[in-house]
Amino acid sequence: MFVKGSMPIRALKAGLLASSLIAALSSQPAHAKTLEGDLIERVSIAVDADAARLEAVFKDLHAHPELAFTETRTAAIVARELAALGYDVTTGIGGTGVVGVLRNGPGKTIWYRADMDANGVQEITGLPYAATTRQTLPDGSEQWAMHACGHDAHVTWLLGTARVMAQMKDAWSGTLVVYAQPAEEVGLGAQAMVKDGLLERGFPAPDVGFGSHTAPGPVGAVSNSPGVRMAGTDQLDIHFTGLGGHGSTPQMTIDPVVMAAQAVLSYQTIISRNLDPQSAAVLSVGAIEAGRDNNVIPQTATLKLNLRWFDSAVRDMMIRRIDEISRGVAISAGVPDEQLPTRTMKGSAVPLVNDAALVGVIDPALKQLLGETMVVNNFPAVTGSEDFQEVMVAADVPYVFLLIGVAPMEDFVAAVKAGRMAPYSNHNPDFFVDLKAIALGTKVNAVSVLSLLAM
């Protein structure tokens, strides 16, 4: 679900950051051989030995995307792989969620999460392992699906890290809990697992939470930054009810399509006229559902909205104004009181806030692995969102969440030279993960987990 922020200042900062990453790549020093370096070298050797298998797993997951709460095939792969590595595996949490527990003596308990679901997007990458078929949903409908946000890489990184941790039990002590979460894209998966007793089922209680996400930065670059990293989010539907009829006699109807169109335009004034210009928020309408036939004015129309925010007061204002605008449009169209628009709240998440101390804990290992200049500690917050933190907030534990570059360096360089922030963005039909990022991302996650366990 990661999406770059759209504000000019953030875009400028990101562009400058991108240019510095490019310059840094050509002047990387050799990694120093220290005790920590020796452990990192062991991780690298283990992952490199497993790289071909990890790429095969990734390609298979990419070719078989599954939408929110339908991740049965993916969950089965995760459960099977973890069980073979000696993890205690529990399935079916929150629908398709999988938890694996590896106990290895006294010490910290780290919870490491990967999300599994895909996007409702038709892939156009042309990759030999691209997703090429529609997914049949439980209600019988069909929908294009694509891993346009890198969750296939997240699952692969988790499985690769789980293997490294099982192979290197002599190098750490404590408990590792890895879990594969459904339905991040709709903002419901983390909450579903919590509601299904994730924190009450007897799993070892977390001391620290950890997660990571693909980003369209260059392979080899990682954002490990403290503080607010991602916006809070809400998914909501607005339902308009009018009076349907024949397209030739609109005077005999109350057209919900026209109401919906007026509302879409009016909603944009919430950001441009109601929000303090020094604050940040996004209001997007992702879908309009109404009617079917050319000559029929439908009875109803539904707008599917997405909000991004950093301040809960801004969130409350946006929802209040959405309600006021929706009602105002309907009243002006002549809708009776009993048919005024309704709002349905769906998935949501609070802003993601990295713990500064944990950022500092994993930073040295990341810089040894990648090079000092390839670990960015001051990347600006983005208006993309996550629900990873919902579990950690419910458990009341600190957490850290990384953004890992997955774009080919040559594509990234060309994009920056052309004045763009990145060669593509998450959720686009041409989004892809460079295969070089599969092994490297696994190393990043593994050394981060080892660092947290060694606190």
What does the DSSP assignment read for 252-286? GSB-HHHHHHHHHHHHHHIIIIIS-TTS-EEEEEE
Tell how strand 109-115 and strand 174-181 pair up: parallel
Residue 259: per-residue pLDDT = 98
Q: Which residues of 8-38 are buried (b: 16+ CB within 10 A; e: fewer)?
A: eebbebbbebbeebbeebeeeeeeeeeebee
> Mean pLDDT per 10-residue run, the chain (455 residues)?
37 45 45 60 97 98 98 98 98 98 98 98 97 94 97 98 98 97 96 98 98 96 97 98 98 98 98 96 97 97 98 98 98 97 96 98 96 94 96 98 97 92 93 98 98 94
Distances (CA, A) of 157 to 5, 57, 69, 211: 25, 10, 21, 10
Query: Which residues carry out catalysis?
Result: 115, 185
Tell me the whole-structure pTM to 2 decimals. Answer: 0.90
Measured from the Cβ of residue 272, the count of other Cβ atoms closer than 10 Å reads 8
Contact 183, 95 (CB under 8 A): yes
H-run or E-run covering 179: strand 174-181
Measured from the Cβ of residue 331, the count of other Cβ atoms closer than 10 Å reads 13
Name every residue whose Cβ is closer than 8 Å to that of residue 337 and which is 6 or more positions away in sequence.
Answer: none
Q: Which residues of 138-163 are buried (b: 16+ CB within 10 A; e: fewer)?
A: eeeeeebbbbbbbbbbbbbbbbbbbb
HSE, CB side, 13 Å, CA atoms: give it for residue 147. 29
Q: How many whole angstroms from its chain centre is CA 393?
A: 17
Sign of the torsion formed by the C-alpha atoms of 287, 293, 294 and 298: negative
Residue 421: per-residue pLDDT = 85
Give the CATH number of domain 8-231+351-453. 3.40.630.10
Residue 37: per-residue pLDDT = 76
DSSP state for residue 419 in the 8-state scheme: T
- CATH architecture for segment(s) 232-348: 2-Layer Sandwich (3.30)
Cα 19 from Cα 28, distance rounded (Å): 15
Residue 165: per-residue pLDDT = 98
Cα 412 from Cα 409, distance rounded (Å): 5
* Domain spans, the chain: 8-231+351-453, 232-348
What SS3 class is residue 182? coil
Distances (CA, A) of 238 to 202, 317, 322, 334: 40, 16, 9, 18
Name every residue whose Cβ is closer than 8 Å to that of residue 201 and which is 6 or more positions away in sequence.
Answer: 90, 93
